[in-house]
Amino acid sequence: MDDILNDKHNVFKYRNFKSQRSKKNRRGKNKWAIKEKTAIDIISYVEEKRQILLQSGFFQEVQETIKSKLFPPHRSKIVDIVCYGIGSIEKSIISQYQFALVLILRDLFGITGKAYAYDPISTSIDLEILLHYEINTIDANEKAKRTITNQTLFYMPHCPLGLYNNVIASNWEIKKLEKILLVGNRLDFYDETMSTSLLNSKAPYIGPISFFSSKYDDNLLIQMPTGTFDNLCWQWFPVDRELEKLDGKIEFWSSKITLEETEDPEII
């Protein structure tokens, strides 16, 4: 990612040290000690990343996609946003960019409902940052088994396959699937690269994605612009009563095993 390579916080800097140390330093106080970053420092880095993205061609493409495909009347208005697996905002420049995109998407969609986030490696400073941006921290590792009631954007950059499976499985009914918009790995990729038996054992709810992809072509999947957030895309189930047409298809709705029977994914 060119933006990251050019980020001023990702550059090694060197300083010449005097060989003569003061008496104060000889007492054990090092005036060259690196100052630990605070939540305020990291927030400033996030805001820098947000401005970099807002001024990029990537943002222009994302904005156009949302307006042309994902805003009403194409889809109902997004109410809530759930973020899994963005990593430590304090520790990672990649995570700072991913989190900056969360903030941008919240603004673009005009999300006024709840925002949630969880990553097992979150630090105390990460939690301060989430609080600053009014994002609720999910207290326990729910392994993406969250049942929704509102139109919800799931933001899951490069999460394990099992977590995508759990999001879909936990909302495996017509009225809920229609409310999911997912930003994550392209799910039909797994159907293309894994055997049917292996995919069914690890993530039985992912298989139907290939059914929709072949039936509706690119109307249910839009690739993110390349070069910034590689291999991420928008994905959703059909609306306008299309899922109801499958209501009587036993092989589609009823041939799934329960979540308890599937392998637990490695959490994020």
Q: Is 64 inside any structural domain?
A: yes
CA 133 to chain CA mean position, Å: 16
Q: Which two tokens stand for residue 155?
A: 């933001």
Average pLDDT of the chain to the nearest whole number:
79
Q: Is 39 inside any structural domain?
A: no
Q: Give the pLDDT score at 1.
A: 47
**pLDDT per residue over 69-91, tens digit each?**
888 888 899 999 999 999 999 99
Can you spell out the DSSP letters for 244-265?
Answer: GGGTT-HHHHS-PPPGGGSPPP
**pLDDT per residue over 190-227, tens digit each?**
877 888 888 888 888 887 665 555 444 445 556 665 55
Confidence of residue 165 (pLDDT cuts 50, 70, 90): very high
Q: Of 74 and 166, which is predicted with more confidence?
A: 166
**pLDDT per residue over 247-259, tens digit each?**
555 455 554 555 5
For the question of whether the overall pTM of this predicted structure is more than 0.85, the answer is no
Name the DSSP letter for residue 229.
S
Domain count, the chain: 1
Q: Is 99 inside any structural domain?
A: yes
Can you spell out the DSSP letters for 6-41?
Answer: T-GGGS----PPPSSPPHHHHTT--TTPPPPPPHHH
Per the CB < 8 A criterion, the answer to whether 98 and 86 are in contact is yes
Q: Is 85 inside any structural domain?
A: yes
Q: Taking residues 109-113, what's their average pLDDT? A: 95
Buried b (16+ CB within 10 A) or exposed e, 145-159: ebebeebbbbbbbbb
Q: Of 185 and 105, which is predicted with more confidence?
A: 105
Q: Which two tokens stand for residue 49?
A: 């990343």
At 23, which amino acid appears? K
CATH of the domain at 247: 3.40.50
Alpha helices in 110-206 (DSSP H): 124-132, 161-169, 174-177, 188-193, 196-202
Buried b (16+ CB within 10 A) or exposed e, 184-201: bbbbbbbbeebeeeebbe
Q: Is 4 inside any structural domain?
A: no
Instruction: Give, for 183, the enclosing helix (H) or strand (E).
Output: strand 180-185
Q: Is 196 inside any structural domain?
A: yes
Q: Is 105 inside any structural domain?
A: yes
Dihedral sign (CA 160, 162, 167, 172): positive
Distance CA 65, CA 126 (A): 30
Domain of 95 in residue numbering reads as 45-254
Q: Is 27 inside any structural domain?
A: no
Please name the residue that has the structure tokens 């977590």. Answer: 163
